[in-house]
Structure 1
Amino acid sequence: MSLHSPSEYDFFIPVVDIFTLDTEVSISRDADCLSPTAALIRAGYLGHVPHAPSLAFSLRTLEHFRLLHARKPSFSIEAFAKVLCDSYRVRAFDAYLAILRGVDKKINEILGRDTPNWRILNACPPCTYELEEEPTLTFGRMYVLDGGNSAKWMAEGARNHGDMREYTESDYLLPRTYVDKFANEVQSRNLEALDSLEANDDDEDTEADPTRRNIASDCSKNWKAAASDEKKRMWSIFDETGIFVSACHHSLLLWVADMVHSGELAKYPLAIISKVLELLSERSLAAYDIGCGFASTIRARSLGKAFEQQGCRICVDAFHGYAHNYTCQTKNHPNGIQGAGIEDFGAIEHFFSASNALAPVIRYATAYRRSVFLNLFFKQWDDDKYLNLATMIYHNYKQSINIIASESLALDGAKASLGIQDGDLEAWHQEEIEYIACLGKETEWDIHAMTYVELLQKLRDAQTCASDTSLQFISMVPSNYQFLPPSQDVSYSANVSATRKVETHRRYHAERLDTLQREVVALEVKMGVAHWWQPTSPEYQETMKYMAMHTYQHALDNLQRLVVQHLFELQKLNISQTAYKMCTHISKSLQTRCHAIQTAIKKYNDAASQLHPPRPPLEWSKVSHYSFLEEFNLLHEMRQDICDKMWARPAIRETLWQWLCIQRAKEEIERCNVEVRRLHMFIVDEDWHFARVLSSLEESPLYFAVQEFCKHRWLVNSQLLDRIFQIYALLGFSGVASPGLRKGQVDLDVEGDGMDGDDMQDIGTLVEYLSDLALTR
């Protein structure tokens, strides 16, 4: 029904309200109300258009949809519209969100949270709210970054859409222009070979892209599979092929970049690293699934100098870290990094797992709606993770206490039985790292010696072939041979074809023998070899042993790569939670189709049998039941026998592992002691700040909006305080069970800052009440 004439203030309008199921309501409009929209808002409704609305939706209905979508991102507007009425296309939700964003903007202005990068610098108090006289952490900030392709968006192509709006109000998304600066930087370098960030199998041909960089080292190939040609062609139908996300180790988001017309390129993490160096504290630790290779990429770019000067470091997250070779693990796995604590850096994996529910909604939406829904998801994710901050610290603290309590007893018993000290364990751990770092690195002499022996073997084969073909050619000469002109030698002409073929072979092998002799002589001059090595000479025999071990090592690496890939496939299928019978059934199924692994096992066994002494063979039934990747680690051997190394003995290795777990747990407790106190102080300061702002807004029309925001935060903070005091009450808590003073902040009791004693007493009473309430639960 259309509106009445302007002279009549009251009007009727059709409405949608899922709570009352009203179809029409009467709206009272005062004489001073100039707009029907304003009258609708006062009555609790919002029109579907800004001017002269003919349909209105209750604010409670719109808020209900917002809450539903926040908790279940896959719940779309279309689905909600069908629930309301099949004939309506709900566009009031966009206006409602715009109003909420406007209100949030005003609230942030009043609270002083509208400064540039405020969210990045303040959203996670345990990371950012530094206090006076607190212990210095090894890493001031820890964060994780990775890309995912679930947030694809179909390219519009030639299709025309009425909704051509552009969403520019998100402080999560990095502008494309900013990200593309690093594409130009990568392109300006003369990159070699494969430029794609995605590691490709050796047997697959790929097209070089000048904006890409093969930043994954060889160990990354164990788990980073190449996309098939069909999937590569599929990229062309998408505009945004996913998002590249960064988050602190408490899972609160930092920055997000749209991956545009591409896979996971180097420019996306480089853009985020640039922001980290610009805004975050020094001594940061980043985790990336191919962090080992990406570290060299950073150092080779313009960011390298600042990255080194700020003492930053990049590692591999725990989940993907086990797919890297053992050399990489000793350097880049969080378990071995001093200061990383027990953090596994799995925040982004959880983020993408949750954001998958949003994919069906945004894939075919307009660009504007995709950005809106992504931003809603980002905000809800951060709100949930803020609420979970104290719980996360609590569980980490409790887990660390349990690790120290359980492993310390076992460690003390092992040290007593083995007669070793902590200093021995530290020395052996460092020795292992140094040994593994050199493992597999061939010296120039090793390479030349292998080449020389291979040439000698080829030379002997060539001598045999040249001698055989020469004798064969000579044997074809008739015993009664007499020189006659070709025209008169009928018998010789009849065999000329066979003779020429033998002569060709003879000349070929003679030239090959001559070439190999020149190569052998040149290499002998370079190596200073006075006489040819004979099969009986010590140098020859030692090199043959080395070559056998070299072949064994390559066979083992290939077998490990294949098994690692299948282990990760099983993890994706959640096989670790499957019963034994089902695991056996799956193993049998794998046996029928995993010909590559079976072939690799055969090559490994052939290489192992050539060693002296021979290594025991592997069987498919054993390899198919490997449950974790460390079972391959000590198979890696070179010429040096590690059996005489203390750290290679099973008892010492178990003790070293216990010692490392305890070290990481102690570091985690140190970090938790700092973080819980930061969070406590942030809540105290925020409560005081809210009280001061509200007292100055009593006559403002925005008072109730700010008050509603503050009430919500107070409820959240009360739950956080409850957990904080549970941490303080833990048996084994070693920190300071009270808030401190923010770094650079003036003591409020001294300055006052405009608040009288009664106000300060009220705030103190509120905090004390919440603290007591938390302790008594």
Structure 2
Amino acid sequence: MQHEAVDSTSAGADDVMGTMDDDFQWESVPDDLRDNDTFMLAVRDIVGSHPYDFSIDVINIYTLDTSTYIHSASTIETPAEALVLSGYLGATPHSPTIAISLSTLELYRRLRLRKPSLSVEAFTKVLCDLYHWPYRRRYRTALADAFDVYLTIHRNIDVQVLKTLGRDSESWRVLNACPPCTYELKDEPELVFRRMIVFDGNNSLSRMAPLGGRQVGDTRIFNSDYYLEPDYINAHASQSNTLSSDDETINPTSQTHAGQDPELTNTSPATSACTDNWKAAAADAKKKSWGIFEETGIFASACRHGLVLWIADMVRSGELFKYPLAIVGKALETLGSRLLVGYDVGCKLAITIASSSLAQKFDDAEYRMCVDAFHGYTHSYACQDKNHPNVIKGMGIEDLATMERIFSSSNQLAAVTRYASAYNRRVSIDSFFKQWDEDKYLNLGNMLYKNYVQACQIIEEQGTAIREAKISLSISDDDLKMWSTEQSQYLATSGQEAEWDVHAVVYVELLQKLREARATSETASAMFLNATPMNYEFIIPTSTSSSYSTNLSQTRRLETRRRQASQRYDSILQEVVALELKMGVTRRWEPTDREYLETLKYMSQREYHRALDNLQWLVVLRLFELHKLNISQTGYRMRTHIAKSLQTRCKAIQNAVKSYNAAALALEPPAPTLDWSKVSHYNFLEEFVLLRETRQDIRSRRWAEPASLRIERAHEEIQRCHVESQRLHTAIVDEEVHFTRVILEANNASDPICGALEEFCQRRRRINAHILARLQDLYSLASFTGSTTSGVRKNAPDDALVNSEHQSAEDDENDDCAGLEEDDAIAGEVGGLLNYISELP
């Protein structure tokens, strides 16, 4: 074939082009082979190890180019390298036929971080629309493959950046990602709980299992410091023996009966059993559907500020206790002592932990379980009185509903994880939570500001009313504590019957049964005797006629009935005689005797009192829930809406109303009956007129007046905000010093990671500048009484070095980052804010 030079301006998409040199002279491809894809790919493979120029089909959302010419330098060995240096990424590592621009892939990555439900197919269709192409699966496959490689490159770069920054240890993220939780300072006030965490399960991020025994093609394993591995989780499975099966789900749906709640008879704070009688939240059909999923969802944990700690895949199961136990075990290993742990059924989990191998460590570390505010109102009030966030000292105004907010956002991922491979599913989940944590870190200053303002408002608005009430009613803080104890005791015993002469009641009941049995026996005997023929003669029957057999059968039935009635009468008579001997009754009570009438009067009211006590307990429970939610004083329309909700879910109250009405009508004279719609609209105890008829009239109890622990919790929140704001301030100061030193060292060493490192630090500095600006807003509040300067972290490696670095950070930032103009601007912005905040009074 004839050698000829190549005109790069006329190169086609399918031509194999090359540069002219002394060693390699390329020949033109014959026309009949130009359209032969197999031949062209084979040629490209042969020359792939040599430098050459080529054209390739491309997708670029910014330029809408359909092809581009790639120039390969002599130092480049593969087309993949040449493509990347030209701003493209091939869909395949060898002999790519189509490439996606890096800017397009980055745009899709950013869109996915902000809109997780945006699938590869959807984005491909957008690209096809912009190019005016009909959608073809080829483009979707190419984009997916290139995007997979692009994410891998990003992760590898992130690993190198974190290693350079010294943040690559196994638990660094959990121990440092949230400075308000973890960046403890010297000489700071001691908090009741060093850290608050919460966990919960979610079934949205499930993944279909392979059908028909098919093998999975993508066998890659994705490793992430977010995930707890199955082996670690299963090691805690044997500890979750309090849950016998998947039927014991974690989300309560109904309220247990007062008389059936073990909490009422057990005063131990760790023995709440609110879920014992709850029905499984998932229907049988749903539980069976778990078989079609390999992972049925995730079980995740986070700190009170919303930064995620650990995630566990729920594999072919519901929300078993092995998942929270594994996270509690991990927290004991990693997070230290004095943690408050919130969970939907924290009361039940506390029992499980107490009977597990974690019990001793849990107690030694002074951990405490509780329920979050959202699910807490579905627990019995006896449980709420111990485990609800509003009543726990040191909680502040935290509601521990963090996981509900996280899952509300992560549910968007469900559309792209359901049919993904195990590897790609974890990639999507890991990417989502990394972005989530970055957003929550950005919001830390705003969260502390808003919490502080809210706590001050509670103290200002409710504190004034409480102070005036204490003065006008002549009550003290000790009285409030005493009433709180009295309230707990009342709600723990409400519905229990008052003491009475039980023997007298049983004796009268037996006398009533004896009269009934005697009447039944006499009736049965009379019917048997009346069946005797008038001309009765004792003869031996010689006939087997049908009439004789019928008469004999009827006679036997009557005789059997007479004998059974007589035996029942004799049995009751024996009990009556035995009880009379025990009670010393010398003459059997008659219906006209005074003792009999008094006992009968109590018995006639007994069922009424029982029905009324039960109804009172249920209504008081709901009223306290409404007052805790601060919605009992809302308008008519909202109260009507609440009434409709109660009618839907409070079947227990409706049944209690029916039982009460039946007992009320049995009284002499009859008591007034109740209508369900009236009960559901009761707003406070004074409106429950029936309470006047109960043996425990609580309307006059001082604790029944609306009093709140919110003020005490608000003061705790202010103290925690003081501590956490200084921690966050100090962490930013220390991080700025650290960034400056590491960037200088990397530049001096000509580290290839410098560019990525500087980009990471630049982004982080901008976020820190935003946080510092919000902290300045907090410090500027007239009510703020905390420190406005940074502190010194506990267990710092060298206090003198740290302090000197703090002092020199603001003076030497520009010298340390010489040549990095944009980075200098960000560093200057952070340094300026630090200077301004440090000079605040």
The answer as to whether partners of 1:220 and 1:290 remain within 8 angstroms in 2 is yes
Q: Distance in 2 between matches of 1:442 and 1:24?
A: 87
Contact kept in structure 1, 2:51 and 2:73, CA below 8 Å? no
1:34 aligns with 2:77: yes
Say if 2:127 is the partner of 1:127.
no
What does the per-residue CA deviation read over 1:454-502, in whole Å, with 9 as the maximum and x for residues that have no partner? 7676555444433433344344445776655455999997643333222
Give 1:497's match in structure 2, choosing from 553, 566, 579.
553
Equivalent AA in structure 1 for residue 79 of structure 2: P
* Equivalent residue runs for 1:579-594 within 5 Å: none
Aligned to 1:680: 729
Cα offset for 1:761?
2.7
What are the superposed Cα offsets for residues 377-435 of structure 1, whole Å, 9 maximum, x if unpaired?
11111111111111111111000001101111111221122121122112211221233
1:699-736 residue CA offsets vs partner (Å, 9 max, x unmatched): 21111100000000000011110111111111211211
Structure 1 residue 762: deviation in Å? Answer: 2.7
Q: 2:313 aligns with which of 250, 258, 261?
A: 258
The Cα of 1:277 is off from its aligned counterpart by 1.6
Query: Is residue 2:452 matched to residue 1:397?
Result: yes
Match of 1:762 in 2: 812
What is the DSSP-based 3-state SS (H/G/I as helix, E as strand, rest coil) of the residue aligned with 1:52? coil
Q: How does 1:104-119 map to 2 (within 5 A)?
A: 104-119=158-173
Please name the residue that 1:334 is paired with. Answer: 389
1:347 paired to 2:390? no
Is 1:721 matched up with 2:772? yes
The residue number in structure 1 matching 2:756 is 705
How far apart are the structure 2 equivalents of 1:629 and 1:379? 49
Determine the C-alpha separation between the residues in 1 that align with 2:417 and 2:387: 36
Amino acid at match of 1:731: A
CA distance in 1, matches of 2:278, 2:615: 18
Deviations 1:133-187 (A, max 9, x none): 1111111111111111111211112264664233322221211121122223335
How high is the sequence identity, in percent, across the aligned residues? 47
Q: Which runs of 5+ in 2 are unaligned?
A: 1-12, 19-46, 129-134, 257-269, 814-826
- Is the 8 Å Cα contact of residues 294 and 316 (structure 2) preserved in structure 1? yes
Pairing 1:58–2:115 present = no
Q: CA deviation at 1:349?
A: 0.8
* Aligned equivalents of 1:371, 1:562: Cα separation in 2: 42
Could you say which residue in structure 2 is the equivalent of 1:148?
A: 202
C-alpha separation between the residues in 2 aligned to 1:316 and 1:754? 45
Q: Is the 8 A contact 2:112 2:118 kept in 1?
A: yes
Query: What letter matches 1:280 in structure 2?
Result: L
Cα gap change, 1:135/1:583 in structure 2, threshold over 3 Å: closer, same or farther? closer
Structure 1 unaligned residues grouped into runs of 5+: 204-214
User: Which deviates the most, 451-460 or 730-739?
Assistant: 451-460
**104-113 or 416-425, which deviates more:** 416-425
Call closer, same or farther: CA 1:610–1:323 in 2, change over 3 Å.
farther
Q: 1:605 to 1:520 in 2, by over 3 A?
A: same
* Structure-1 residue corresponding to 2:362: 307
Bigger relative contact order, structure 1 or 2 (CA pairs below 8 A, ≥6 apart): 1
Q: 1:180 corresponds to which residue?
A: 234
Give 2:610's match in structure 1, choosing from 525, 545, 550: 550
CA contact (8 A) 1:105 1:114 kept: yes
Aligned to 1:323: 378
Contact 1:449–1:543 (Cα < 8 Å) also in 2: no
Provide closer, same or farther for how the CA distance between residues 541 and 284 of structure 1 changes in structure 2, counting only shifts above 3 A: farther
**What is aligned with 2:218?**
164
1:642 to 695, 698, 707: 698
Partner of 2:55: 12
Among 124, 136, 139, the residue aligned to 2:193: 139
Whole-angstrom distance in 2 between the partners of 1:68 and 1:513 = 84
1:243-271 deviation per Cα after TM superposition (whole angstroms, max 9, x unaligned): 11211111111111111212111111111
Counterpart mapping for 1:244-643 below 5 A? 244-440=299-495, 461-477=516-532, 483-486=538-541, 495-513=551-569, 536=596, 548-554=608-614, 601-607=657-663, 617-622=673-678, 640-643=696-699
Distance (whole Å) between structure 2 residues aligned to residue 23 and residue 426 of structure 1:
77
> Residue by residue, what CA displacement relative to the aligned partner does 1:591-638 show, whole Å, maximum 9, x if unpaired?
899999755542343346668998864434345657999999x97998
Size of the alignment, in residue pairs?
A: 747
Cα offset, 1:101, TM superposition: 0.5
Pick which of 606-615 and 103-112 moved more: 606-615
Q: Which one-letter code corresponds to 1:664 in the other structure? A: R
1:734 pairs with 785, 788, 801, which one? 785
Shift in CA distance, 645/169, structure 1 to aligned 2, threshold 3 Å: same
Task: Give the deviation of 1:121 after TM superposition.
Answer: 1.0
When structure 1 is superposed on structure 2, of 396-405 and 54-63 the one drifting more is 54-63
User: Which residue of structure 1 aligns with residue 118 of structure 2?
Assistant: 75
| Structure 2 equivalent of residue 661 of structure 1 | 710
| Map of 1:209 onto structure 2 | none
| Per-residue deviation, residues 275-309 of structure 1 (Å, max 9, x unmatched) | 12221131211111122222212212222222222
Using the TM superposition, give the Cα deviation of residue 233 of structure 1 relative to its aligned residue in structure 2, in angstroms.
Answer: 2.5
Shift of 1:202: 12
Instruction: Note closer, same or farther for the CA distance 1:629–1:413 as it changes in structure 2 (3 Å cut).
Output: closer
Q: Residues 745-760 of structure 1 correspond to what in structure 2 (within 5 A)?
A: 745-746=796-797, 748=799, 750-751=800-801
Within 1, Cα distance between the matches of 2:578 and 2:172? 67
CA–CA distance in structure 1, aligned partners of residues 503 and 309 of structure 2: 51
Preserved CA contact (<8 Å) 1:553 1:636: no
Q: Secondary structure at the match of 1:158?
A: helix
Contact kept in structure 2, 1:692 and 1:755, CA below 8 Å? no
Deviates further, 403-412 or 766-775: 766-775
Partner secondary structure for residue 298 of structure 2: strand
Mapped to 1, the partners of 2:716 and 2:299 lie a distance apart of 30
Paired amino acid for 2:467: D
Q: Residue 245 of structure 1 aligns to a residue in which SS?
A: strand
Q: Which amino acid aligns with 1:182?
A: H
Range 355-364 or range 162-171, more displaced: 162-171
Residue 210 of structure 1 corresponds to none
- The alignment partner of 2:792 has SS state of coil
Partner Cα distance (2:703, 2:621) in 1? 25
1:629–1:176 CA distance, 2 compared to 1 (3 A) = farther
Question: What is the TM-score of this pair, normalised by structure 1?
Answer: 0.84
- Structure 1 pair 47–377 and aligned structure 2 pair: CA distance change class (3 A): same
Task: For 2:512 and 2:332, locate their aligned partners in 1 and report how far apart those are by CA, in whole Å.
Answer: 56
Cα drift, residue 52 of structure 1: 2.7
Q: What's 1:744 paired with?
A: 795
CA gap of 1:447–1:711, structure 2 versus 1, over 3 A, is farther
2:67 aligns with 24
Q: Which residue of structure 1 lines up, in the alignment, with residue 22 of structure 2?
A: none
Shift of the 390–40 alpha-carbon distance from structure 1 to 2, 3 Å rule, reads same
Q: CA deviation at 1:451?
A: 8.0
Kept in 2, the 8 Å contact 1:72–1:357? The answer is: yes
Q: CA RMSD in A?
A: 4.4
CA distance in 1, matches of 2:763, 2:53: 35
The alpha carbon displacement at 1:361 in A equals 1.4
Tell me the secondary structure at the aligned position of residue 306 of structure 2.
coil
Amino acid at match of 1:171: D
Aligned residue type for 2:96: P
User: Which amino acid in 2 is paired with 1:340?
Assistant: M
**What's the offset of the Cα at 1:330?**
1.1
Distance in 2 (CA, whole Å) between partners of 1:322 and 1:595 is: 16
**1:103 and 1:705 in contact (8 A); partners too:** yes
Q: What displacement does 1:65 show?
A: 0.4
Distance 1:703 1:252 in 2: 28
